[in-house]
């Protein structure tokens, strides 16, 4: 059967098809929808209405801006000219724009989309209440000293970084080099304030040397202090710190060898005899095998002690004796019944073996990296100890730091004290 259609029907069918094609060819709306919920924001970190949800949908690819207009008419941008592809979007807003918290008030929010053909906007209102009008600020920041030599010599080994913040915030401090590498600075453990509290906090930087780590390479570093509160507000302070002669000090008694002798024996038998009132002599070599100089202090090699003396005791020409010095290296001699660790101590080299540096008007003495020095000394046997024979041995002491196992109780020798 062949069907025929009237001319009127054909007209309306053609018109409908044309309309459908016209509708299909219309471009989708640039900004299909936008909303901000709820319309009340109380950004005080109490868990209620702390954030608002911004939703919007794009019918086409567009450049999007989201901003807020207050009574002054000045736009405060949350997003500014960000390219976005077609689709639906959702973002949380906590009241922070341009790293500032919106002050209390009534705002017009604007979601704006723009492409080459048009600009579309959808607006609404948002009320902000209970915000903290005080911006987060680092109110104090210092790095002292501006230069450190982290090599455990007890002089300028560490930097103290003070950071003060006007309200509760988490603080992060780090160094950054020209290569972009970051080196964290730990907070000093014992201080009045707890982490996160408002006020001043102290950070202590030893470049890792106290933990046996190699410090960052010598150079000038930027010190960053970053404060961030519960709302995500941030403030940053910067300074500089120079690192020079950084490194882990390393030294040893060469070959673990100590030569002991007395004035009646060369020390080649099973034990070394020494007369009561006689002298026990020693000779050893110190080797600085590290990459940094090691600091030392007297008395000089060749000094003699009585058996009942210590290096702290007053001596001719040195009525105050010698004190332990944090970071200084000394050679020590100890024996079985001594009342303290290594009571007899000497510098790790003669004056001609050492480099002299004047620091704050005072001379300091260093054995340079890679160098060796011979150390000698003697002990006059002024009494017979409860144990006889007994052992004498050497050590290399890094005062107030450590006596490494390698440098402790080195090459013990048995000594017999003879006499009435």
The pTM of the whole model exceeds 0.95: no
How far apart are alpha carbons 125 and 96 in whole angstroms? 16
- Whether residue 124 is found in the same domain as residue 159: no
**pLDDT reported for residue 25:** 53
Domain boundary among 243, 261, 289: 243
CATH of the domain at 90: 2.60.40.10
- Whether residue 235 is found in the same domain as residue 260: no
- Whether residue 258 is found in the same domain as residue 373: yes
Domain boundary among 102, 128, 154: 128
- Whether residue 35 is found in the same domain as residue 77: yes
Question: Is 328 inside any structural domain?
Answer: yes
| Number of other residues whose CB lies within 10 A of the CB of residue 366 | 22
Domain boundary among 212, 243, 274: 243
**pLDDT reported for residue 190:** 83
**pLDDT reported for residue 14:** 52
- Whether residue 208 is found in the same domain as residue 278: no
Question: Is 357 inside any structural domain?
Answer: yes
Query: Residue 102 is part of which domain span?
Result: 30-128
Question: Is 14 inside any structural domain?
Answer: no
- Whether residue 326 is found in the same domain as residue 352: yes
Question: What distances in angstroms separate CA 15 from CA 19, 22, 23, 188, one per listed residue?
Answer: 6, 10, 12, 82
Question: What distances in angstroms separate CA 97 from CA 55, 57, 135, 352, one per listed residue?
Answer: 17, 22, 12, 66
Phi, psi of 178 (to 5 degrees): -65, -25
Helix (H) or strand (E) holding 20: helix 7-25
CATH of the domain at 194: 2.60.40.3880
Block mean pLDDT (10 aa), the chain, length 420? 50 48 64 96 86 97 97 95 97 90 94 96 95 87 97 96 96 97 94 94 95 93 96 94 96 98 86 96 98 96 96 83 94 96 97 96 97 98 95 98 97 92
Question: Is 333 inside any structural domain?
Answer: yes
At a CB cut-off of 8 Å and minimum separation 6, what does 309 contact?
Answer: 343, 344
**pLDDT reported for residue 21:** 42
């Amino acid at each position: 059967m062949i069907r025929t259609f009237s001319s009127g029907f054909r007209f309306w069918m053609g018109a409908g098809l044309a309309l459908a094609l016209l509708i299909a060819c219309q471009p989708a709306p640039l900004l299909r929808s936008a909303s901000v919920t709820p319309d009340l924001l109380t950004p005080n970190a109490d868990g209620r209405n702390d954030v608002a949800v911004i939703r919007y949908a794009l019918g086409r690819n567009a450049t999007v801006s989201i901003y807020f207009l207050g009574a002054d008419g000045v736009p405060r941008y949350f997003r500014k000219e960000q390219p976005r592809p077609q689709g639906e979007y959702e973002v949380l807003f906590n009241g922070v724009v341009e790293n500032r918290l919106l002050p209390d008030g009534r705002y017009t929010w604007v979601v704006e989309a723009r492409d080459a053909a048009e600009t579309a906007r959808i607006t609404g209102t948002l009320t902000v209440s209970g915000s903290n009008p005080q911006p987060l600020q680092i109110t104090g920041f210092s790095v002292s000293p501006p230069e450190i030599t982290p090599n455990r010599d007890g002089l300028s080994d560490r930097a103290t970084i003070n950071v003060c913040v006007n309200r509760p915030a988490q603080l992060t401090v780090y160094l950054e080099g020209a290569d972009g590498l970051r080196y964290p600075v730990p907070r000093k453990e014992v201080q009045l304030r707890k982490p996160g509290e408002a006020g001043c906090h102290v950070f202590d930087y030893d470049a890792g040397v106290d933990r046996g780590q190699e410090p960052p390479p010598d150079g000038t570093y930027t010190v960053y202090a970053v404060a961030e509160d519960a709302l995500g507000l941030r403030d940053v302070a910067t300074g500089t710190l120079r690192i020079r002669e950084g490194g882990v000090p390393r030294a040893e008694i060469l070959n673990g060898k100590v030569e002991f002798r007395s004035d009646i024996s060369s020390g080649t038998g099973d034990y070394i005899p020494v007369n009561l009132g006689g002298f026990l002599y020693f000779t050893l070599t110190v080797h600085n095998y590290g990459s940094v100089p090691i600091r030392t202090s007297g008395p000089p090699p060749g000094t003699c002690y009585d058996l009942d003396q210590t290096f702290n005791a007053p001596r001719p020409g040195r009525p105050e004796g010698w004190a332990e010095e944090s970071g200084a290296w000394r050679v020590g001699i100890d024996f079985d019944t001594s009342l303290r660790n290594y009571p007899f101590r000497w510098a790790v080299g003669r004056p001609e073996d050492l480099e002299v540096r004047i620091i704050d008007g005072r001379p300091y003495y260093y054995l340079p990296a890679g160098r060796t020095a011979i150390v000698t000394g003697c002990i006059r046997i002024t009494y017979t100890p409860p144990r006889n024979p007994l052992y004498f041995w050497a050590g290399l002491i890094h005062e107030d730091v450590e006596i490494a196992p390698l440098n402790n109780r080195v090459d013990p020798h048995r000594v017999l004290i003879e006499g009435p």
